[in-house]
Amino acid sequence: MRTEYDLWKIFPRMPKKVTIGDITIRDGFQHEEKFISTQAKKFYLEELIFAGCRDIEVTNLGNPYIMPQFSDAEELLTHLRSDRFKKKCERKKINYDDICLTAITIRESAVDRAIELRKKGIGPDRLLMMVSTEEEHHFANSGTTLPDYWKEAEQAIKKCNDAGMKMCGTVSTIWGSPIGGATDLKDAVEFSRRWLEIGAHDIEHADHDGSASAAEVYRYFSMVLDEMPNPKLHIAHFHETKRVASASILAALQAGINNFEATIGGLGGQPANFLGDTPVKGTGEYYYDDPRYVGLVCIEDTLVQIDEMGIEHGYDINRILWLGRQMEKTIGRRLRSEAIINGRTLKEGHMHYARPGLAKLKEKFGEKSKQAFPNTWSEKVVLPEQYRK
C-alpha cells in the first residue's frame, strides 16, 4: 500500500489560507514590568497593519489602576481612528474597512467604557470577554464565579451588539489550568457553545499556560468543528512554555482551524504586578516561576512555518522579521523568535556562503554541473532484496 503524500488529502479540513491576528500591544505588553511608551505602541500598531495584519488587539479597556500599562488606551484608539492614519492606509493601498480593532473588556464596566468610546467615534470594532473552564483560574482573572460571570457576559454582549460592536468569547484552561490542574476537553466545547448561545460573534480557544500537546489540540479542535463546523467562528491562541507550540499550530491546522493569534517575539502572559519602580495590582501573584518561559507563539516563527507549508497568510514576512528585531530593542532583551536570527529557508539558498572552486573541480573530473552519481552507476536504483519489503 502506497503512502499518501498530499497533506490536504490526509487532512481534508486543513486550510490553504489562514488569518493570523496580532495581539502584541495588548497581551504582549501586559506582561512587561516596564511601561512601553505610547509612541512605541503607535509605531508597532501601524507597522503591523502595514505588514499585513488586519485583526489587531489594540488595548485593554479595564481599570488602568489594575493594569497601568493601558492607561493610554483612548489615545491609541484615537490615533487609529484619525484621518491621518486612514490616509496613511490609503497611500499604502490598504482598505481601512478591512482592519478590525479589538479591545479587551473582561468585565461589564469595560464594555460600558467601549460603548462610550464608540459614541465618540473612537471605539473598537470588537470586544473580548473571557471564561476559564477551571473556576479557580477564572476567579483569578475575573474576580467572580462562573455562573455570576456568565450572567454578566450575557448582558454585556447584548449591550455590545446593540452598539454595533462584535464580542469575542474566550474559553481558557482547555488543556489544563496552572492553578487547578487537569481539565476536561468536553467542558471547553460546552463553554464554546454557551458563548454562541448568548450572542458572541466568535470564540478564542486559549491555551494560556502552554499545557496543550499536539495530539490533544487535534482532538479538541476536531470535537469543536464537529459541533460548530464554521471555521470562521474559531481562533486558536497558544502560549509557549515548553517550546512545542509549533506542533500545536500544525495540529490545529490539520483539524481545520484557519484563524490564529500571536505576538512579536512571543511576548505576553499574566498581567504584570510591577511596573517601572512601583508594585501594581495586576491580577495578583504570578502563577509561574520563571518569566523567561511565559508568552505566546511568535508571529515571526509562526509565519515562517505557515509560509513554508504553502499556506496563504497575507503578510510581508520580511517586514515582520524586521519588526521582531526592532522589538528586541524596545523591550531591551533577547526575545523568543528564532526566525529573526536564522531567517527563512530561501529556495534560492544563501550562495554567499558557498565555497569557491566547485565548478572547476567538477569540470576537472568530467562531471556535469548537476551530476550527483558516478557515470558508471545505473540510472535506476536497484535495492538489495532484503530492503524491498
- pLDDT score at 290: 80
CATH of the domain at 71: 3.20.20.70
Q: What secondary structure letter does DSSP report for 27?
A: I
Mean of pLDDT values over 271-284:
92
Mean of pLDDT values over 364-380:
95
Encode pLDDT of 61-97 as tens digits. Answer: 999 999 999 999 999 999 999 999 999 999 999 999 9
Mean of pLDDT values over 49-53:
98
Q: In a 10 Å sphere around its CB, with 0-12 CB exposed, 13-18 middle and 19+ buried, how is residue 63 labelled?
A: middle
Say yes or no: 287 and 383 in one domain: no
164 domain-assigned: yes
- Are residues 104 and 57 in contact, defined by beta-carbon separation less than 8 angstroms? yes
- pLDDT score at 141: 87
- pLDDT score at 1: 73
pLDDT at 315 over 80: yes
33 domain-assigned: yes
Mean pLDDT taken over the chain: 95
10 domain-assigned: no
- Are residues 376 and 365 in contact, defined by beta-carbon separation less than 8 angstroms? no
Say yes or no: 298 and 368 in one domain: no
149 domain-assigned: yes
- pLDDT score at 292: 75
Nearest to 303 by CA among 107, 53, 3: 53
Nearest to 67 by CA among 102, 35, 115, 44: 35
> Which of these ranges, 77-86, 167-176, 214-223, 291-300, has the smallest mean pLDDT?
291-300
349 domain-assigned: no
Say yes or no: 253 and 367 in one domain: no
Range of the domain at 135: 16-342
Task: Count up the domains in the chain and report the number.
Answer: 2
Say yes or no: 312 and 208 in one domain: yes
Say yes or no: 239 and 364 in one domain: no
Distances (CA, A) of 299 to 8, 49, 159, 237, 337: 24, 13, 33, 12, 8
9 domain-assigned: no
Say yes or no: 263 and 161 in one domain: yes
211 domain-assigned: yes
pTM comes to 0.94
pLDDT at 214 over 80: yes
Mean of pLDDT values over 256-275:
96
The more confident residue out of 202 and 283 is: 202
5 domain-assigned: no
pLDDT at 213 over 80: yes
Encode pLDDT of 131-167 as tens digits. Answer: 999 999 999 889 999 999 999 999 999 999 999 999 9
DSSP letters along 268-289, please? Answer: --SPPSEETTEE--TTSS-S-S
Q: Where are the beta strands (DSSP E) in the chain?
A: 19-22, 55-60, 100-104, 126-132, 166-172, 202-207, 234-238, 259-262, 274-275, 278-279
pLDDT at 243 over 90: no
Mean of pLDDT values over 317-328:
98
Say yes or no: 117 and 239 in one domain: yes
Say yes or no: 169 and 123 in one domain: yes
pLDDT at 236 over 80: yes
Planar angle of CA 158, 164, 170, nearest 5 degrees: 55
Say yes or no: 381 and 289 in one domain: no
- pLDDT score at 289: 81
Say yes or no: 161 and 231 in one domain: yes
Say yes or no: 137 and 188 in one domain: yes
Give Cα 46 to chain centroid, integer Å. Answer: 18
Say yes or no: 125 and 188 in one domain: yes
- Are residues 74 and 100 in contact, defined by beta-carbon separation less than 8 angstroms? no
pLDDT tier at 13, thresholds 50, 70, 90: very high
